[in-house]
Structure 1
Amino acid sequence: MLALWILSKRRIIPRGDTDKMDLDSISSNSNPMVPPEVDKDTSVVVLFQNSTNEIKDLTISEIVKATDNFSQANIIGCGGFGLVYKATLANGSKLALKKLSGDMGLMEREFRAEVEALSTTQHKNLVSLQGYCTHDGSRLLMYSYMENGSLDYWLHEKADGASQLDWPTRLKIAQGASCGLAYMHLICEPHIVHRDIKSSNILLNDKFEAHVADFGLSRLINPYQTHVTTELVGTLGYIPPEYGQSWVATLRGDVYSFGVVVLELLTGRRPIEVFKPKMSRELVVWVNHMRSEGKQDQIFDPLLKGKGFEEEMLQVLDVACMCVNQNPFKRPAIQEVVDWLKNVGATPQDQNKD
């Protein structure tokens, strides 16, 4: 069996010899040491200290078995950075494995250092990075498994999925995702620009709590770019208008993309629907047009109407439209968005508690 190591901030501890660490005590700029064995054998599976207690030992062969040799039937996601597989371990616990595609532009040691730095990024609204390994020349990242998949799946793919997302649930998802994004923008050092905020990167656990996924992966491709990058990435419908001119990803660009996600929650519509008439094809354009004509009430998902939450939805619509302002300098910072969403529907007494 291949060796399995837990990385400590100052020393290397074999699994089982350490108690669960308080995640709040992990510094975002910590630099865990790398076990010498990993330098010699890059096929070693490395789990981080935040790894779930259910995973005691893990080898490459067990990962291959857990994914049925990376069977197409176990693919649960596909993005710009690679395919994501569901891995069901022998003890019944589950992981999500992202098989990174393309040239990562990093030597093995640099790759390990970047992944280990990302592992210290801990927040309840971020998908937790559990570990990494290499297999057949591919680099694998191991994440916590989210039972309810993506927001995109529930809004647009699952039969009757949107009807199961009532307004309080949708508001909770928007609030949680904004908190995860704020942690990336404000707390992480260096600050992380996500560059691809979209509903398929908002994952939901069994309680429909939002977790932002795929954060920080740009650092594995452009390790020497920190808060901005000159390589344009993103998904059609979520890309801020300024990216087409400057090709520079920014924090305010993330805010725009988040605003589009909030509009999805409000309307139940995709960011782009190519078969609709021109004025209603792009979600942002359509919403702005409807508001200019005073037809805000026609914007909301019919599934949400008549449930007594119209005032809250109007408040959230105002926030979303500020986020998708064409002028990036007129968009709010993410902390403002967090505060506004937190206070939606709150009584003055609730607000005074903060």
Structure 2
Amino acid sequence: MLLLFTLILLMFTNLQLQLSMASSWPSLQESAATAKSGCQTHCGNLTVAYPFGIGVGSGCSRDASFDLTCNTTHDPPKLFIKSGNLQIFKISDSEMWITNFIAYRCYNQLGGVTDDIFAWTSLATTPFAFSQKNKFSVIGCDDFALITGTNGGDFSSGCFGLCGKPNDVPDGYCSGIGCCQTAIPKGLKTYNASLLSLRNHTRVVSFNRCGFAFLGEEQSFRFRGAEDLSNASEFHTRVQTMVHTVLEWVIESNRSCVEANECKGNSSCSDADIGGYRCSCNNGYHGNPYLDPGCKDINECDEEQSNIHCYGHCVNTAGSYNCTCWPGYTGDAKTPDGCRLINANTSKFPVMAFTLALVFGFVAILSGLIGVFFGIRKRKLNKLREKFFQQNGGVFLKQKLNAPGTSDAVIMFTTQQLRKATGNYSEDRIVGRGGYGVVYKGILPDKRVVAIKKSKLVDETQSEQFINEVLILTQVIHRNVVKLLGCCLEEEVPVLVYEFISNNTLFYHIHDRSGGMSWLSWESRLRVAIEAASALGYLHSQAATPIIHRDVKSTNILLDENYTTKISDFGASRLVPLDHDQVTTLVQGTLGYLDPEYFHTSQLTDKSDVYSFGVVLAELITGQKPLSANRTDDDKNLATYFVKAMKENRLFEIVEPRVLREGTLEQLQAAGDLVKRCLNLHGNDRPNMKEVAMELEGLKKFKTHPWDQQQTVHEEESRGLILEIEQSDLYEVPLIPYSSNEWESYSGSTTSMNFQESKPR
């Protein structure tokens, strides 16, 4: 019994250890860093590990000499040393394979030179040197080539390729007949190769017109005899594609291991014979020896992660492993059938049968324990979801949904649905961050694209109010308001699901200057303002329960694929009882848009949204940001800056040039007066949103172009004509029919004012 108990204990301990090692392996694998944090690790199919780094001056490499460039204009992308023309095809922990430069010289039947290209490469200021795996090769029947260079001193050598007729040339190796190879010295940093001929190929031009010389990896080149001599173009392409030049690289060629002391944990340093040193992981470890925390232990007992085999009892150790035969066996467990029974001839006890029975029994017990473990874990997760569901007001929401007429008011999403839709809330799916949560792009099973917002923690005492707000917001149906589809209350924080709006924010379209000027025309800006004002007016006065947005700003005004306006982000919204004009709240909002009266009194009214919308109108008219360090200290705030300009009759000095060109003087003056009233410091003196929308709608009646109005009005009246010009967003050429003198005047004015339009993206 004691033996049986000991055997069970040993097997259990080993299995537990292996499970532990297997479960910890992914974290070790992940922690074995390849490059610096935040740096690119791949270019095409090549992995770039530190001390190298992608991007010249990016700070991703050890120093500038290890900078590489990933040229993405190629498909697939190509990797180059620094920003030069030396393409990299492969990198190891001590070597690099790069482009092979070929020198060649071709002749005609009279011995005249038709092509003459020499080859050279310099690695003088880099941590690289040409490896002795390269050979300097000369191909031709009447050629000799010189190679000169430096390796701490001057170096020169040469090689002859001679033959008389094709049948003399051996196939498969360089013997000096048609093909000659010579070695290069250790540490060669630069080389220059040039070709010469004894008789200018006049005796061999019938089958060998060109001679070649190149420095390339010896083992990757195979000479094909007369075939290579006769087909110059095919030979050049094959060598260029298949035979690369091998470089050796080191760290700090003027320092040794002892001086550097750079290698990280579980690694060792070795001095290179070309100067400098290299770091490498110790046996039994893997990772990057140049980055903290250094190299990680390899689990040799995990056959998927190791190339060793153990046919007995395997126990991983730091940097190594132990492999022994099972109890009752002896021999070498590292070879197949290496273990044999002890006293197999005299033993009558059925050890093999007993061992198999014991193993299968133990596996059955372990499977049962694992099943129980996952069952308990699943039950805990379900209880946790129920707790969050209750904490976030789920019970109250169910009661509301069961009430007559509200069964379809809101969709209740499950945690599994939203995690699957967002790739388990992957960082790649984040499309926005704000003061009230993070927004992810999600794809539902029915292929609908939605915006999924994980809100901040909700006060448990206000969960009932939160649910009431969700129910009301799902019933808000307006073409210019982002639709709230439903929610999920099984997470620690409530998750809201909205329709997805794909064409970025109004802030982006106003302030994007990639083309020199925002593409938004005055007509488009006026339409966006009207649609946004109408939506806010609807929320204030026509919704079942009035809603104050509380965070109106150009980043919360979205444009869909048809450039239709959508008011979004009700994370800070408050519902206003019908018998109240204002609500006392904690002050929330965005600097630059925040109503000063609300900030000082904490009394929230619909006029607070009017003030914020006034700032958005000022953005649309001036093209300037709400807060800007480019303006003087007193004018950093756009609202103050705009009101001050209106008081000093300087409106047309601050209007964006495109708006000034396209809008009429009456429109701009009326719009400026409206913005000034919206930005009044006293809320009672501001218009409401419905009035704002109506006044903006009224601006559309002004159609005459301001720069034509005074010059052409009498001519048009005399002809009895009314000319309406619709300015296009898409074209840089004005659509107004100028005379030649007027056009020259117009061109000069637009040049001096630096007008530049760009097409919508």
**Fold agreement, TM-score > 0.5:** yes
Structure 2 residue aligned with 1:34, among 385, 388, 401? 401
Deviations 1:51-73 (A, max 9, x none): 8xxxxx97543422322221222
Give the Å deviation of 1:303: 3.1
The equivalent of 2:435 in structure 1 is 80
Does residue 1:293 correspond to 2:648, yes or no?
A: yes
The equivalent of 1:247 in structure 2 is 602
Task: Report if aligned partners of 1:175, 1:338 keep a CA contact under 8 Å in 2.
Answer: yes
Amino acid at match of 1:34: L
Aligned length: 301
Task: Report if aligned partners of 2:666, 2:702 keep a CA contact under 8 Å in 1.
Answer: no
Give the Å deviation of 1:113: 3.8
The equivalent of 1:192 in structure 2 is 547
| C-alpha distance 319-148 of structure 1, shift in aligned 2 (>3 A) | same
Structure-2-length-normalised TM-score: 0.37
Q: What does 1:182-261 align with in structure 2 at a 5 Å threshold?
A: 182-215=537-570, 217-219=572-574, 227-261=582-616
What is the distance in 1 between the residues matched to 2:465 and 2:608?
Answer: 27
Report the 3-state secondary structure (helix = DSSP H, G, I; strand = E; otherwise coil) of the residue aligned with 2:518: helix
Does residue 1:329 correspond to 2:696, yes or no?
A: no
Does residue 1:124 correspond to 2:479, yes or no?
A: yes
Task: Report if aligned partners of 2:454, 2:493 keep a CA contact under 8 Å in 1.
Answer: yes
Q: What does 1:1-354 align with in structure 2 at a 5 Å threshold?
A: 33-34=400-401, 48=408, 60-106=415-461, 111-157=466-512, 159-160=514-515, 163-215=518-570, 217-219=572-574, 227-346=582-701
| C-alpha distance 279-227 of structure 1, shift in aligned 2 (>3 A) | closer
Report the 3-state secondary structure (helix = DSSP H, G, I; strand = E; otherwise coil) of the residue aligned with 1:95: strand
Task: Report if aligned partners of 1:260, 1:324 keep a CA contact under 8 Å in 2.
Answer: yes
Deviations 1:13-47 (A, max 9, x none): xxxxxxxxxxxxxxxxxx984259xxxxxxxxx99
Report the 3-state secondary structure (helix = DSSP H, G, I; strand = E; otherwise coil) of the residue aligned with 2:494: strand
Deviations 1:116-171 (A, max 9, x none): 22211211111111111134322111111111121112223573496221111111
Report the 3-state secondary structure (helix = DSSP H, G, I; strand = E; otherwise coil) of the residue aligned with 1:141: strand
What is the distance in 2 between the residues matched to 1:98 and 1:335?
Answer: 29
Give the Å deviation of 1:112: 3.6
Task: Report if aligned partners of 1:191, 1:227 keep a CA contact under 8 Å in 2.
Answer: no
What is the distance in 2 between the residues matched to 1:73 and 1:172?
Answer: 33
What is the distance in 1 between the residues matched to 2:684 and 2:571?
Answer: 24
Task: Report if aligned partners of 2:551, 2:573 keep a CA contact under 8 Å in 1.
Answer: no
What is the distance in 2 between the residues matched to 1:308 and 1:236?
Answer: 29
What is the distance in 2 between the residues matched to 1:68 and 1:211?
Answer: 26
What is the distance in 2 between the residues matched to 1:340 and 1:104?
Answer: 40
Give the Å deviation of 1:106: 4.8
What is the distance in 2 between the residues matched to 1:162 and 1:179?
Answer: 27
Amino acid at match of 2:551: D
| C-alpha distance 346-131 of structure 1, shift in aligned 2 (>3 A) | same
Amino acid at match of 1:196: D
Give the Å deviation of 1:230: 2.1
What is the distance in 2 between the residues matched to 1:162 and 1:250?
Answer: 36
What is the distance in 1 between the residues matched to 2:415 and 2:570?
Answer: 25
Task: Report if aligned partners of 2:415, 2:491 keep a CA contact under 8 Å in 1.
Answer: no
Stretches of structure 2 lacking an aligned partner (at least 5 in a row): 1-397, 704-761
| C-alpha distance 208-48 of structure 1, shift in aligned 2 (>3 A) | farther
- Larger gyration radius, structure 1 or structure 2: 2
Stretches of structure 1 lacking an aligned partner (at least 5 in a row): 1-30, 37-45, 52-56, 349-354
Higher fraction of helix? 1
| C-alpha distance 98-122 of structure 1, shift in aligned 2 (>3 A) | same
What is the distance in 2 between the residues matched to 1:120 and 1:161?
Answer: 42
Moved more, 70-79 or 59-68: 59-68
| C-alpha distance 309-145 of structure 1, shift in aligned 2 (>3 A) | farther
What is the distance in 2 between the residues matched to 1:313 and 1:87?
Answer: 41
Moved more, 124-133 or 67-76: 67-76
What is the distance in 1 between the residues matched to 2:581 and 2:408?
Answer: 23
| C-alpha distance 161-120 of structure 1, shift in aligned 2 (>3 A) | farther
Give the Å deviation of 1:175: 0.3
Task: Report if aligned partners of 2:457, 2:492 keep a CA contact under 8 Å in 1.
Answer: no
Amino acid at match of 1:127: V
Task: Report if aligned partners of 2:472, 2:544 keep a CA contact under 8 Å in 1.
Answer: no
Give the Å deviation of 1:219: 4.5
Deviations 1:307-326 (A, max 9, x none): 35443233222211110011
Report the 3-state secondary structure (helix = DSSP H, G, I; strand = E; otherwise coil) of the residue aligned with 2:442: strand
Amino acid at match of 2:604: A
Task: Report if aligned partners of 1:75, 1:83 keep a CA contact under 8 Å in 2.
Answer: yes
Moved more, 66-75 or 137-146: 66-75
Give the Å deviation of 1:195: 1.0
Report the 3-state secondary structure (helix = DSSP H, G, I; strand = E; otherwise coil) of the residue aligned with 1:344: helix
| C-alpha distance 175-131 of structure 1, shift in aligned 2 (>3 A) | same
Task: Report if aligned partners of 1:149, 1:205 keep a CA contact under 8 Å in 2.
Answer: yes
Task: Report if aligned partners of 1:167, 1:309 keep a CA contact under 8 Å in 2.
Answer: no
Deviations 1:194-243 (A, max 9, x none): 111111111111122212112375449xxxx9951321111001111112
| C-alpha distance 172-66 of structure 1, shift in aligned 2 (>3 A) | same
| C-alpha distance 243-253 of structure 1, shift in aligned 2 (>3 A) | same
Task: Report if aligned partners of 1:47, 1:130 keep a CA contact under 8 Å in 2.
Answer: no
| C-alpha distance 227-149 of structure 1, shift in aligned 2 (>3 A) | farther
Structure-1-length-normalised TM-score: 0.76
Percent identity between the two aligned chains: 33
Amino acid at match of 2:623: G
| C-alpha distance 194-308 of structure 1, shift in aligned 2 (>3 A) | closer
| C-alpha distance 275-163 of structure 1, shift in aligned 2 (>3 A) | closer
Task: Report if aligned partners of 2:512, 2:518 keep a CA contact under 8 Å in 1.
Answer: no
Give the Å deviation of 1:77: 1.9
Give the Å deviation of 1:264: 0.6
Report the 3-state secondary structure (helix = DSSP H, G, I; strand = E; otherwise coil) of the residue aligned with 2:603: coil
